[in-house]
């Protein structure tokens, strides 16, 4: 095999491919990128068995062939090269020479035969959405997936399509995030659980431009994202997702309207006195016209009033401040509405159209104080 | 005590003061900043017993007094405050209230009585230099101090003044860095060893502007840097510095002229195949018209030619690539001159006026290869 590509094109393609290279694995072939120039195009493929990425690389093929190279070493070599055309050539012993101007690197390759190719997916039933919207909806929900594998379902996000609405849900046992977006057309119903890792990686690759589109294909076990010169294939998480509609009540005893930035900055200040892993709650005393936020710790105390509009009863309630911050950070509205029932029932932050709903469980602060 | 200062002024002063707050100490009072408003000015003092910083803070004093506050917590509180005037007031029990708009923090203070004030230094015999030059000369030499305390002298830098020349020297047993700058006037001879830590911290505080000046005072045991609203006092390292003039020979067998960026980029590429802590040398084969750089490792090999002008004998010599990179990075010249004797003798990079001299010991690559 012998191919010639510009350094920048290789850099761009490898930074996409690296997203499906596992940092730790017992199978060395998974640490490789497959460089496939056996047809008329140059394709880079990486695959960590859960997530696979295939991307087309612009360049010229002087001699057809394919080779698997350690992805990290190859990426590092490309990065250090002068800004010019790079030639990659292999010999019969899988020795690979990478040259650019006067610089010449030699590394050993692996036979492409051992490489795990991406599963072949029938591309039908495709949903089209802008890269901007997909990236945004991931950002607005990904923080409330569960970080560990104790409950596999919680490590993914529900992607549900009904008519022209895409609904994305994540939950971790302490909170639920729900976002809806309206699609340009209606589609048949779909309901899958996409691994959080896939969504994290894909949102790093997406351009985030409003005009750039991504096509999403659904199969029994896989979801496929196709955009620009890249195809991302991910396994789905098997199982029945939580029945979240039953968890979200529309009843409330107290409704408040508050400036989002004022509340966010105030909670952010309060976190100063909370060490990592500390379960100290922030205590919010909601009264007519204002809420008083208070935190006490060994380091000191902090209190501050925030102006609000209130409907309903006064309430004294405690929260893990991080959960409030996570939700407030991804809401774009200037004013937000919070709905409360009692100090033991969840607080819900949502807009009138229910395009977003964030549910947060309170903390029993009397227990926490003891 | 009660003082009012703008958030930005407090931020600026505390980011200077923090440089003399130890990250680990058995004496909690050293973790404090002394806020002294007992006279007509507000002064912040921090002191880790080796390095002390005093800086004047703009603001108004409503009630005179002084207090010692945990520097890190105080700094964090200021950072999180709204962008407005901040009031700091203390009561008789050393409780300190920090308020800004509606935010109110309470923390416990310590009596300023226990605080270690800066030593009182007689300010005579002052050397004046621009902040730009001092910052630059530190950057150009600090990398070759020894990182550990096995040899205390090597953890500092020699500051030597003879006439109108300031000479700064650092060495770590493998290499020597020497920089000279011409001062605006002549001074009496001075020769002190300044701790590397002091120089690192002070170069973070210096503005680096050509027009801003710094006055340097020398005493038996201390060096004092005075600039803007800030005084930095540091202990000196005791002892007689190494006789470096004896180590630097002007004889050579081979002299080469090479483009600095080409050589630097080439060595940088070669380091790809060197893992942290690995002692693998880069091997340089100097011939007429070019030098061939080569590195071999388990990961692969790299070689590249760099054009040179050569006087004298061919030579094959090995180096720790990091040492070459460190020196090349701080040389501003486009072309550099390297002087070599034989594969076991040091290589010297210097300009014609001897304003900079970098000596680097070679590595015995035959041993290293085995």
For residue A127, what are its two tokens?
């949903």
Is pLDDT at A370 greater than 50 in this prediction?
Answer: no
Q: Which CATH architecture has domain A248-369?
A: Roll (3.10)
Question: Domains of chain B: which residue ranges?
Answer: 2-114, 126-245, 248-369
Of B201, B25, B24, B202, nearest in space to B129 by CA: B202
Pairs across A and B, CB distance < 8 A: 68
Of B166, B156, B167, nearest in space to B127 by CA: B166
Q: What is the mean pLDDT of residues A189-208?
A: 95
Smallest CA–CA distance, residue B105 to chain A, in Å, is: 4
Q: Cα–Cα distances in Å, from B93 out to B86, B90, B96, B97?
A: 21, 8, 9, 12
B2-114 against B248-369: fold identical: yes
End-to-end CA, chain B: 70
Given this model, what pLDDT does residue A368 score? 46
Torsion of CA B320, B339, B307, B258, to 10 degrees: 90
Residue keyed to tokens 């294909």 = A217
Taking an 8 Å cut-off on Cβ atoms, the answer to whether B81 and A299 are in contact is no
Given this model, what pLDDT does residue B368 score? 46
- Mean per-residue pLDDT over chain A, rounded: 94
Given this model, what pLDDT does residue B299 score? 87
Is pLDDT at A369 greater than 70 in this prediction?
Answer: no
Taking an 8 Å cut-off on Cβ atoms, the answer to whether B76 and A305 are in contact is no
Query: Is the domain covering A2-114 a CATH 3.50.50.60 domain?
Result: no
Q: What are phi and psi of A206, to 5 degrees?
A: -60, 140
The helix or strand, by DSSP H or E, that contains position B33, with its residue range, turns out to be strand B32-37
Q: What is the mean pLDDT of residues B56-74?
A: 97
For residue B289, what are its two tokens?
């018209």
Q: Which residue has the higher pLDDT, A279 or A205?
A: A205
B74 contacts in A (CB within 8 Å)?
none
Q: What is the mean pLDDT of residues B92-114?
A: 94
3-class SS string, A181-206: EEEEEEEEEEEEEEEHHHHHHHHHHC
Compare all CA atoms of chain A with the CA of B81 and give the residue at the minimum distance: A269
Q: Alpha-carbon distance B22 to B32, whole Å?
A: 9
pTM assigned to the model: 0.90
Is pLDDT at A119 greater than 90 in this prediction?
Answer: no
Given this model, what pLDDT does residue A112 score? 85
Share of chain B above pLDDT 70, in %: 98
Using alpha carbons only, give the angle B354, B355, B359 rounded to the nearest 5 degrees.
65
Is pLDDT at B177 greater than 70 in this prediction?
Answer: yes
Is pLDDT at B306 greater than 80 in this prediction?
Answer: yes
Residue B304 is nearest to which of A73, A102, A265, comparing CB atoms? Answer: A102
Taking an 8 Å cut-off on Cβ atoms, the answer to whether A305 and B105 are in contact is no
Q: Which residue has the higher pLDDT, A32 or A369?
A: A32
- Cα torsion B15, B20, B25, B28: sign: negative
A107 contacts in B (CB within 8 Å)?
299-300
Q: Alpha-carbon distance B269 to A76, whole Å?
A: 9
Residue pLDDT, tens place only, B346-363: 999 999 999 999 999 999
Q: Cα–Cα distances in Å, from A39 out to A59, A125, B13, B158?
A: 13, 28, 64, 64
- Mean per-residue pLDDT over chain B, rounded: 94
Residue pLDDT, tens place only, B192-248: 999 999 999 999 999 889 999 999 999 989 999 999 999 999 999 999 999 999 899
B106 contacts in A (CB within 8 Å)?
300-302
Indicate the class that CATH gives domain A126-245. alpha beta
**CA A210 from centre of chain:** 18
Is pLDDT at B129 greater than 60 in this prediction?
Answer: yes
Would you place residue A26 in the very low, low, confident or very high pLDDT band (cuts 50, 70, 90)?
Answer: confident
Mutation test of the interface with chain A: which of B274, B299, B306, choosing the one with the most A Cβ atoms within 10 A? B299
Smallest CA–CA distance, residue B356 to chain A, in Å, is: 28
Residue pLDDT, tens place only, B140-157: 999 999 998 889 999 999
Of A167, A216, A223, A165, nearest in space to A198 by CA: A223
Find all residues with CB under 8 Å of A370, minimum gap 6, and list them: none
Taking an 8 Å cut-off on Cβ atoms, the answer to whether A302 and B104 are in contact is yes
Is pLDDT at A128 greater than 70 in this prediction?
Answer: yes
Residues of B with CB under 8 A from a CB of A: 70, 73, 76-77, 80-82, 102-108, 265-266, 268-269, 272, 299-306
Encode A25-34: b = buried (16+ Cβ within 10 Å), e = exposed.
eeeebbbbbb
Beta-bridge mates of residue B68: B34, B110
């Amino acid at each position: 095999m012998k191919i010639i590509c510009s350094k920048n094109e290789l850099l761009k393609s490898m930074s996409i491919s690296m997203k499906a290279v596992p940092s730790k694995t017992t199978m060395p072939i998974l640490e490789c990128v497959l460089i496939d120039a056996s047809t008329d195009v140059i394709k880079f493929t990486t695959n960590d068995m859960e997530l696979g990425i295939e991307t087309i690389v612009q360049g010229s093929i002087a001699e057809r062939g394919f080779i698997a190279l350690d992805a990290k070493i190859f990426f590092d070599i490309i990065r250090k090269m002068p800004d010019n055309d790079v030639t990659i050539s292999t010999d019969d012993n899988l020795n690979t020479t990478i040259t650019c101007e006067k610089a010449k690197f030699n590394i050993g390759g692996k036979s492409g035969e051992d490489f795990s190719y991406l599963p072949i997916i029938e591309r039908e039933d495709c949903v089209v959405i802008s890269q901007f919207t997909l990236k945004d909806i991931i950002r607005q929900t990904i923080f409330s997936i569960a970080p560990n594998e104790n409950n596999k379902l919680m490590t993914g996000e529900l992607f549900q399509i009904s008519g022209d609405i895409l609904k994305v849900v994540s939950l971790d046992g302490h909170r639920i995030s729900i976002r809806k977006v309206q699609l340009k057309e209606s589609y048949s119903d779909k309901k899958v659980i996409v691994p959080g890792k896939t969504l994290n990686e894909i949102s790093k690759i997406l351009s985030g431009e409003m005009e750039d589109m991504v096509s999403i294909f659904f199969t029994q076990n896989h979801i496929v994202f196709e955009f620009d010169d890249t195809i991302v294939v991910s396994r789905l998480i098997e199982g029945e997702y939580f029945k979240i509609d039953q968890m979200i009540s529309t009843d409330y005893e107290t409704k408040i309207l508050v400036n989002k930035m004022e509340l966010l900055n105030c909670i952010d200040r309060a976190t100063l006195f909370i060490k990592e892993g500390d379960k100290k709650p922030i205590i919010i005393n909601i009264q007519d016209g204002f809420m008083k936020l208070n935190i006490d710790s060994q380091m000191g105390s902090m209190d501050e009033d925030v102006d609000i509009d209130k409907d309903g009863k006064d309430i004294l309630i405690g929260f893990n401040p991080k959960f409030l911050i996570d939700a407030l950070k991804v809401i774009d509205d200037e004013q937000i509405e919070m709905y409360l029932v009692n100090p033991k029932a969840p607080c819900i932050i949502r807009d009138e159209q229910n395009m977003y709903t964030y549910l947060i469980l309170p903390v029993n602060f009397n227990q926490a104080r003891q």
